[in-house]
């Protein structure tokens, strides 16, 4: 029996600086997870992923990541994705500078 589809966001790494980015409903790439488009329909999620994977001049490694609705927007549900929202772990740059 197939698994029930759970909400997702499209995520990737920015081609030039490597930072984690998320696809928004208005076709932008954002570094903020809560701005990502929360995809609740499997067919729509597949289309959004295919669109993202074609943007080879902007991002690399696009994939669907599990998420859930939150008070400020989508929230990651897996520890790996929570870790990715915090930025690089080797030294403070990118998202860690904002903290």
Position 64 in a domain: yes
Q: Which domain holds residue 80?
A: 8-98
Instruction: Give the C-alpha separation, 53 to 4, whole Å.
Output: 24
| Per-residue pLDDT at 41 exceeds 70 | yes
Distance CA(71)–CA(45), nearest Å, equals 22
d(CA 78, CA 48): 21
50 vs 99, residue with greater confidence: 50
Rounded average pLDDT over 60-71? 97
pLDDT attached to residue 87: 72
In a domain? residue 21: yes
Does residue 90 lie within any of the structural domains? yes
Once rounded to an integer, what is the mean pLDDT over residues 9-34? Answer: 96
pTM: 0.86
78 lies in a domain?
A: yes
In a domain, 1, yes or no: no
Total domain count for the chain? 1
């Amino acid at each position: 029996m197939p698994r029930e589809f759970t909400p997702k966001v499209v995520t990737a790494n920015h081609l030039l600086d490597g930072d984690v980015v998320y696809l928004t409903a208005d076709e932008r790439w954002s570094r903020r997870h809560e701005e990502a488009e929360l995809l609740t329909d499997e067919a729509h999620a597949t289309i959004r992923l295919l669109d993202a994977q074609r943007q080879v001049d902007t991002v690399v490694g696009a994939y669907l990541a599990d998420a859930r609705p939150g008070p400020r927007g989508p929230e990651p549900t897996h520890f790996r994705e929570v870790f990715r929202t915090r930025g690089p772990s080797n030294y403070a740059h990118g998202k860690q500078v904002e903290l």
